[in-house]
Structures are given as C-alpha cells and as structure tokens.
Amino acid sequence: MEKFIVNGGRPLAGTVRIGGSKNAVLPVMAAALLTGEKCVIRGVPRLSDVAAMEDILESLGASVKWDKRAGVITIAADGRLLPEASYELVSRLRASFQITGPLLARTGSVKIPMPGGCAIGTRPVDLHLKGLAALGAEIEQEHGFVRAKARRLEGAKIYLDFPSVGATENIVMAAVLARGQTVLENSAVEPEIVDLANFLNSAGADIRGAGTDTIKVNGVKELRATDHTIIPDRIEAGTFMVAAAVTGGDVTLTNVVCDHLKPVIAKLKEANVSVSETAKGLRVCGAKGGAAVASDIKTLPYPGFPTDMQAQFMALLATARGTSIVTETVFENRFMHVGELKRMGADIKIDSRSAVLEGVGRLMGAQVRATDLRAGAALVLAALGASGATEIDDIYHIDRGYCQLDQKLQSLGADIRRVNDGA
C-alpha cells in the first residue's frame, strides 16, 4: 500500500493545468455502448476509476483503447454485447451503474449488481429504476442484482423526486434510443449532464434542455461515430484553489471553466481569499493579512455549493479566524474526515448533519488515513498548511479522482512524496 508523506508550511506558487472531469468522462464512456460505431473521447484523466470503467466495458464485449499519454480513449462497441456485468468489476466503481441505461436500450436486457464506490452515505438507485420502468422496462431486484428487460423502450414523461445526477444520466441515455419523446422534469443541471448531452448529440441524438430542470429527448433509431473532448474537472480545480488558500500561496489554474466554479469562488472570497480571472487563467492568492476568515457552507445540488468540495473547505476553515458552520445536505455520512482532521489539531464538533469549526490558527502534522476520495484530498490540503510532517495512508482513494496529485503539487513547490508503505 502506498502513502503520502507531506511536510507542510510551504506556500504554493506557479501554474497548474486542470485535467478532464472524472464525473463527466465515466458516463460518456458508458454512453459509447449506445452505438456500434467508433467513439473517440479526448481529455481523459489517468485515474483508477477510468481504468475500472475500461475493464467493465471490455468485459461486456466492447473494444477499448486508451492512450494514457495523449489522454484519448477510443471505444468501439461494434460486436455482440453481453447484457450482464460481473460483481467483481462493478463493486469497484459507483458510476458502473451508468451502463444500465445504455445496455438496456442497446440489447433489450441488463443484469447488474448493486454498485460500489466510496462509503459516504446511501445513494439509492430507485430513481434510476423508476425512470427506466417509466420507459417500459420490467425491473426485478434479487440477491443484490438488478434485472431490467424491454423489447422496445417508449418515450414517457418522468418526474424525478430529487435532481439526481446519476438518474438523470441513466434515463437520458436510455431515452436516446426509445421510440417517441421523453420529457424528464426536475432533472439535475450539473455541467457533467450538459457534457454528456453534447457527446450524445454529436453522435446523432436529439436532446434539448440539458443544463435546465427539464430535458426533452426525441428518440432516434441509431447513433453514429463521434469525437468528443471532456470538460475540465471543476472539483480538481476547486481542490487546487483551496490548496493555494490553505498555504497562503499564489497559484494560477489553466483549463478551467469559471462559470462551473461560481459557488467555490464566492465562498473563497467570503473567506478573504483573492480570486481573479487573468489572461493566463484563474489566479488564487492566499488570504489578505495571512489568515482566512470563518465562513458558513451548505452543500446543495448544482448550482449550489458542491458536496464534493465540502471536505476540502473544512481543511481551510479549520484554521480560519472565527467560527464556521458546515452543513451537509446531500450525503448523510460525509463527515468521516472530521476525526482525521481532529488528529491534526482541528476543533470540530458534529451535530447531526452540521459541523461547527473553531479556527485554531494552524494544524499539526500527524498520521492520518484517507477514508474516501474527497476526504483524502482534504487531508492532503490540511497537511500542506500544517506544521511538521503528515503521513496519509490509503491514498488509493485519492487516485480514484486525482491524476498525479502529488506531482502537480510538487510542481507548485509542495514537499509531498509518494512512498510504498512497506519500504
């Protein structure tokens, strides 16, 4: 097992390029199953989650070629696809459930285990199944598997009880090859939804309204080959923005879409951190006067403050002047990093779905463990601003969503090393 050793106290400085979005590329890869023609996907980050999705698609019968150096994946699902995914592969990746809609639309049946992923709370797939059933699928759940069958999917009017990103993506992908029009109301509006719709439309789909709460899909008979570039990762961008703030640094981010980062930018400015758009990119400088100030955060679906940035902001607020309150409304078990931050000297009290942070001025290095992807990123940020050395175990969580995080931080002047735990 590998771990990070971080010696904190160094202000980050320089320029860093943000990679393609993990949360956009995974559903786009799944959507490639909808056509028998070749799909080229560019701007693909080198992540273990992407490798897991590659294995899943290949196990179903698709051909996947990944040029990691160029960041290009070519997928050709031109043969007979198997309608069943293995538990061993699916359990590695929550986003694996996104193959359900495409497989059902393409083959007429699918059997898939309930998905895995980070243990940050219950993420039921009932909304996915409700939507697929509305399109005409017969759904059965037994022994940890979901079975869905349909001779031909039919367009329908569907209302989501909650604007679930995964359910929106799965239903839209299934509706692309359904007969007639599908109207999806109270849909998720995340940028990743828009990116998926752009990919599908470039392949011949007819999707309108992506990015709003009502999406209309007019079914088509088939999709064709396409070439698509993935949007930048707004969560990676937000993580590096907070890294600059935590260390009192001066970092410029390139390959970012500022509109996707509005809530993060707003909260950083509220915390007395300087954020500005320049000709080179998005520049983030440490708080004026040397310390961030307290700020309250409440996670919400986009365009609200992203739950995937909650842990990273805690690393900043733990040392901010004053009292901050962080309220988590999306996942009920997303405070697992709190205990690890307290090992580093943070003063945090949890009350149900809220955490109260009293700024302590500075954290101290300690031995901690990444409990999930974003919690791991938060511990890296906390370590960068802490005094002394911090050892972070179980960093395989971090590799699921950050491409070469240690190397990018090193390029900005951080003292961070990846070492083998047995060395």
Which positions are catalytic?
A: 118
**Residue 177 contacts by C-beta under 8 Å, 6 or more apart in sequence?**
34, 105, 106, 153, 219, 220, 221, 222, 223
Distance CA 182, CA 219 (A): 8
Distance CA 159, CA 93 (A): 27
What Cα–Cα distance (Å) separates residue 146 from each residue in 102, 114, 393?
Answer: 15, 7, 34
Distance CA 414, CA 71 (A): 25
Amino acid at 46: R
The answer to whether the CB of 189 falls within 8 A of the CB of 216 is: no
What Cα–Cα distance (Å) separates residue 405 from each residue in 28, 52, 309, 354, 376?
Answer: 23, 19, 16, 29, 11
The answer to whether the CB of 179 falls within 8 A of the CB of 153 is: yes
Distance CA 112, CA 133 (A): 16
